């Protein structure tokens, strides 16, 4: 057994508040590409195409946005949780999780069995659509059906303003309640784990520092190095699925010992 795995399992079993931050790397083993690895979205699209101001001011930008969003949704909708999501759901069942803060918009923590109260989606969810005028929320499948029937840009039935997936675009304000809650949970954590995030997207990238300032242990599980590796108490380099599957086994052994 890799000593880092046993060490992490022991820390989890002794922790009163374990908070986990997850990023796109958690879902690559579910078939959803991350953004920054080769072949990711930034190899194919210009980040400006996702800019909120462009979306709100230009019909052509909205049309392009919905083309890209539809392409991504085809991959995202059928995706199933992988062993890393399942291990995090198991931590909740074992009473060993305080919160999971996710940058992901794929809904896979909920599909894996984590409860709604446990999951803080700081970048929103692609499984619903929100009116940018009155805030009315629509089911994503319903809107995708309209697009499939030939509509290029969907508008709100109630107020006529543009509809956009309920995710946070560049230039769009972060959701206030979720962001505040994420920082609060990070500040209260005694163990803060980052899984599958490049830790370059803010404000999520500031959460580990917030946890550390309040004396939490910091663990980073990621395939590639991150800019804050030097802050970590433990780094596990590799695939999140196999690492988390091994960690959860050790946690359970520790609990039954």
List of residues contacting ligand NAD (CB under 6 A): 23-25, 27-29, 32, 34-37, 103-106, 123, 196-198, 201, 222-224, 239-240
The C-alpha atoms of residue 179 and residue 177 are separated, in whole angstroms, by 6
The C-alpha atoms of residue 251 and residue 5 are separated, in whole angstroms, by 9
Asked if 41 and 35 touch (Cβ cutoff 8 Å), the reply is: yes
Candidates 14, 123, 202, 214; catalytic one: 123
CA proximity to 23, closest of 166, 223, 178, 175: 223
CA proximity to 34, closest of 206, 239, 185, 246: 239
The yes-or-no answer on residue 214 being catalytic is no
The DSSP-derived string for 164-190 is EEEEPPTTSPPPHHHHHHHHHHHHH-S
Q: Which is nearer to ligand NAD, 12 or 220 (CB)?
A: 220
Quote the least distance from Cβ 255 to ligand NAD, whole Å.
25
Per-residue tokens: 20: 């986990």
Q: Which is nearer to ligand NAD, 177 or 215 (CB)?
A: 177
The C-alpha atoms of residue 154 and residue 66 are separated, in whole angstroms, by 9
Q: Which is nearer to ligand NAD, 161 or 223 (CB)?
A: 223
CA distances from 209 to 21, 111, 227 (A): 12, 29, 11
Q: Which is nearer to ligand NAD, 18 or 222 (CB)?
A: 222
Residue nearest to ligand NAD (CB): 25
Quote the least distance from Cβ 44 to ligand NAD, whole Å.
13
Q: Which is nearer to ligand NAD, 157 or 224 (CB)?
A: 224
Quote the least distance from Cβ 48 to ligand NAD, whole Å.
15
Q: Which residues are catalytic?
A: 123
């Amino acid at each position: 057994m890799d000593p880092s795995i046993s060490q992490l399992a022991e820390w989890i079993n002794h922790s009163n508040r374990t908070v986990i931050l997850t990023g796109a790397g958690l879902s690559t083993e579910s078939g959803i590409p991350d953004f920054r690895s080769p072949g990711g979205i930034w190899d194919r699209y210009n980040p400006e195409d996702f800019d909120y101001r462009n979306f709100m001011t230009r019909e052509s930008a909205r049309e392009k946005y919905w083309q890209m969003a539809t392409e991504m949704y085809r991959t995202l909708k059928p995706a199933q949780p992988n062993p890393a999501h399942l291990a995090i759901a198991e931590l909740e069942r074992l009473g060993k999780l305080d919160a999971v803060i996710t940058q992901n918009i794929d809904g896979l923590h909920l599909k894996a069995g984590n409860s709604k109260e446990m999951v803080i989606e700081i970048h929103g969810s692609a499984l619903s659509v929100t009116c940018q005028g009155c805030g009315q929320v629509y089911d994503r499948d319903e809107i995708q059906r309209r697009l499939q029937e030939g509509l290029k840009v969907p508008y709100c039935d109630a107020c006529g303003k543009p509809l956009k997936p309920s995710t946070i675009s560049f230039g769009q304000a972060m959701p206030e309640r979720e962001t505040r809650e994420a920082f609060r949970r990070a500040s209260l954590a005694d163990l803060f784990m980052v899984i599958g995030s490049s830790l370059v997207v803010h404000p999520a990238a500031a959460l580990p520092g917030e946890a550390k300032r309040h004396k939490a242990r910091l663990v980073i599980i990621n395939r590639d190095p991150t800019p804050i590796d030097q802050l970590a108490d433990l780094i596990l380099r590799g695939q999140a699925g196999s690492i988390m599957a091994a960690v959860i086994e050790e946690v359970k052994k520790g609990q039954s010992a």
